[in-house]
Homo-oligomer: A and B are copies of this chain.
Amino acid sequence: MDGSFLIGSHAVSGGETFQAFDPATNEALDTDFAVSTVEHVAQACALADDAFDSFRDLDPEARATFLDTVADEIEATDGLVERAMAESGLPEARLTGERGRTCGQLRLFAKLLRQGRWANVVVDNAMPDRKPLPRADLRQRRIAVGPVAVFGASNFPLAFSVAGGDTASAFAAGCPVVCKGHPAHPGTSVLVGRAIQAAVKKCGLHEGVFSLIQGPANELGAALVRDPRIKAVGFTGSRGGGLALVEIAQNRPEPIPVYAEMSSINPVLLFPAALAARGEAMGKAYVGSLTMGSGQFCTNPGVVVGLDSPDLDSFAQTAADALVEAQPQVMLTSGIHANYDKGVELLSGQSSVETLARGAEGTGCNRGRAALFTTTGKAFIDNPELAHEVFGAASIIVKCQSFEEVRQVLAGMEGQLTITLQLDDADQEEAAKLLPLMERKAGRILANGWPTGVEVSYAMVHGGPFPATSDPRTTSVGTAAIERFLRPVCYQDLPDALLPKPVKHGNPLGLPRTVDGEQE
């Protein structure tokens, strides 16, 4: 195992070191990883800035080839899944799937680049004879914002880390990336970082297109966000962590956007006809979604809301019975496990909250014991603490006295990544009344499924109002994620020789265009 971090084409070792831990045993894993310094951060940012102009003006085909090559190199990396398993405690099937998703999203962005609509070329032809004033020739395209800082996430060591969605979409936009690897999986990070480094070399790109900073201290990430050459930030993690980065970014002499995906309890609304028809199956599926991956998903269903009724009781009983059987799973880090236990303790200590069931007790370190609670709509409305995210397999069933109370429960919630409806035809009338409120509250509204499992596609929105994210105008999953890293530039009456290829008169890149308001 390689203990270096990566500055451009170089692998740097020496100096202070840190280690990764197997969360299943709390034992240190084999390698000593070199800790980057703030000077290394500055070096990486300087290289990224050097690389920026050439990288952003690559022809789309060349950047697409680079993304494809990164995917190829990741697939060709021996021992990646094994290392990720050791560092995260996640099972092989999950990580094999996650590797597929990671490479799939790189290739989807490559396809998007080749389709060309992302560049948003808009041409208003000159109207020299217009009265009272002629119109100039105006050409708009979107360009990359600049070097981007990406923070690896603990819960997706591949798909939201070094070559995850933030990196893939930043690369696609034409932004060099300086990644801060998550300190819980440094070995996984360097393996993926080496794959990107190899792709940069194979494609003949400027080495500054990618660097990987490693180390456990928050100050490293703070220095990265403060660096004046960084122009945007991608982050998935805790609310506290995300807000700290937002504050740093806003207090720079030149403030920059932070795309932080932070906190969501992903309410699930159970409607009466659906409950009556398939309450038991729903109870089992709920616990399946809740306990998958020890509940360590941003879209984990943390709260279920329904009308107090025998059908809801029987749903809750089925869920409780299933949860008792749920085997404890290793959580990602001892810190996450400790926070989970604290969150569960806080909930179970609330006088208005009843503990319905706990998962099986396990042996070994960092085992997350699932937890199911229940409370009343009134108590949930009155006590905002019940709506705080507990990261892990904990969830609360809220029993309401009326649809109006369901509406109030929802209205009192902060912004969410998802809201789920379990409904049958007879429930549609009541659901329709709540839909406008749901649109205000969430980035994705889904029916008769469960919020975990986020498709990487064109229509996906993995985003939502604050504090689900720091910027509800965007998504961190799916092709629209590229828009976070682009800004428009308009060229007025520039001679054709000076115009960048995407907006030249002859359209040499063959990009789709909007001309005088009509799409071509």
Contacts and interface: CB of A to CB of B under 8 A. Distances in A.
A451 B277 CA distance: 66
Contact of A140 (B459, B465, B490): B459
Nearest to A503: B459
A202 interface: no
B492 A447 contact: yes
A475 to B, nearest CB: 6
A135 interface: yes
B516 A124 contact: no
B449 A136 contact: yes
Contacts of A490: 443-445, 459-461
Interface in A420-442: 421, 423, 425, 428, 431-432, 435-436, 439-440, 442
A143 B442 CA distance: 12
Interface string A134-164: 0110111001011000000000000000000
Given A145-B472, A432-B498, A459-B123, A493 B446 contact: yes
A58 B123 CA distance: 29
A517 B112 CA distance: 8
A124 B457 contact: yes
B457 A254 contact: no
A175 B445 CA distance: 21
Interface in A467-520: 467, 470-475, 479-480, 486-495, 497-498, 500, 512, 514, 516-517, 519
Interface string A395-428: 0000000000000000000110000010101001
A465 B231 CA distance: 10
Given A432-B497, A447-B492, A449-B493, A138 B517 contact: no
A459 B497 contact: no
Interface in A91-135: 97, 111-112, 115, 117, 122-124, 132-133, 135
B458 A254 contact: no
Contacts of A514: 117, 458
Interface residues of A, number: 82
A391 interface: no
A466 interface: yes
Contact of A459 (B124, B449, B495): B124
Given A457-B138, A489-B442, A53 B436 contact: yes
Given A124-B457, A124-B459, A458-B124, A446 B145 contact: no
A186 interface: no
A480 to B, nearest CB: 6
Interface in A49-107: 53, 57, 97
Most buried by B among A57, A436, A475: A436
A435 B519 CA distance: 27
A255 interface: yes
A448 interface: yes
Contacts of A447: 492-495, 498
A2 interface: no
A455 interface: yes
A241 interface: no
A428 B136 contact: no
Contacts of A246: 255
B254 A140 contact: no
Most buried by B among A117, A246, A491, A512: A491
A250 interface: yes
A343 interface: no
Nearest to A252: B466
9 contacts: A122-B458, A124-B457, A135-B457, A145-B473, A254-B465, A428-B498, A445-B492, A445-B494, A459-B490
Of all A-B residue pairs in the complex, the 9 with the closest CB atoms, nearest first, are: A446-B492, A461-B490, A138-B459, A140-B459, A53-B436, A122-B459, A444-B490, A124-B459, A124-B457
